């Protein structure tokens, strides 16, 4: 089993890069944000619990997210390749992940940290639009759809995430600084961290990751 983590501030491009890596490497994409949004849409008990945290841009409790990821990993086998996007976000979650993998006789293969300046992050998030049907990401200037408000892939309607407003974005960036940045040292000390400049073209960023993956995990 291969378990690769994509780490980076909100807006660093984790979702977009993950889509490219799924196409190129055949990863199974595990996005806790997507899973939580899905639970909210379906009004499951977990969705109802998560909704208020997400609207504020705060983190959902560790045990909730770690539980859904653990369930997903258990469905894998020796040849599975998991790409974790948006998880872990705290040291507690990193520990819970390590334990879940250990129970399966596995460990984290590599951690890619997507780095870019804050002003680019804010621009990316405020301009981000997502397809309601298939989840494909667009940007009103950087990755515009062919027809405004309509998904290129499935013709579904595009929407703006309710937590992509300026105030919530500011809180999400603060939360990242306070809680998630501790993970950078955690994985660096384990020699698993690979820093990637994510300010440029997303295809180039994905290509860099694919090249590093083949040299680090074989
Ligand atoms: P994302 O789509 O990754 O930007 O996540 C959107 C929101 O979902 C976050 O602001 C959190 O409220 C929640 N969330 C996603 N992943 C996690 C996680 N690993 N731990 C806690 N909350 C999370």
Whole-number Å distance, alpha carbon 189 to ligand 1 midpoint, is 24
Q: Residue 49: its pLDDT value, please?
A: 92
Q: Residue 76: its pLDDT value, please?
A: 94
CA gap 209, 64 in Å, rounded = 29
What would the two tokens of residue 195 be? 């820093």
Nearest CA to ligand 1 atom 11: 59
Q: Residue 179: its pLDDT value, please?
A: 85
Q: Residue 173: its pLDDT value, please?
A: 92
**Nearest CA-CA partner of 27 in 81, 96, 76:** 81
Q: Are 6 and 114 in contact (CB under 8 A)?
A: yes
Site residues for ligand 1, CB cut-off 6 Å: 10, 32-33, 36, 53-54, 57-60, 65, 86-89, 93, 163, 172
| pTM as predicted | 0.88
pLDDT along the chain (218 residues), means of 10: 94 91 95 94 93 93 94 94 96 97 96 93 92 93 95 97 90 90 94 94 94 81
Nearest CA to ligand 1 atom 15: 33
For 198, left (φ over 0), alpha (ψ -120 to 50), or beta?
A: alpha
């Amino acid at each position: 089993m291969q378990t690769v983590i994509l780490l980076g501030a909100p807006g660093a491009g984790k979702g977009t890069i993950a889509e490219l890596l799924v196409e190129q490497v055949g990863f199974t994409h595990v996005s806790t944000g997507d899973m939580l949004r899905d639970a909210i849409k379906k009004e499951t008990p977990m969705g109802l619990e998560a909704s208020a945290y997400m609207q504020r841009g705060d983190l959902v409790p560790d045990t909730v997210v770690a539980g859904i990821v653990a369930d997903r990993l258990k469905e894998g086998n020796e040849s599975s390749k998991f790409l974790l996007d948006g998880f872990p976000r705290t040291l507690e979650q990193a520990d819970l992940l390590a334990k879940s993998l250990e129970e399966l006789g596995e460990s984290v293969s590599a951690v890619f940290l997507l780095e870019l300046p804050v002003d680019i992050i804010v621009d990316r998030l405020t301009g981000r639009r997502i397809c309601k049907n298939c989840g494909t990401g667009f940007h009103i200037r950087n990755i515009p759809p062919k027809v405004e408000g309509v998904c290129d892939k499935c013709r579904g309607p595009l929407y703006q995430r309710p937590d992509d407003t300026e105030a919530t974005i500011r809180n999400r960036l603060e939360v990242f600084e306070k809680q998630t940045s501790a993970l950078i040292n955690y994985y660096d000390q384990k020699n698993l961290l690979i820093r990637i400049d994510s300010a440029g073209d997303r295809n180039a960023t994905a290509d860099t990751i694919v090249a590093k993956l083949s040299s680090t995990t074989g």
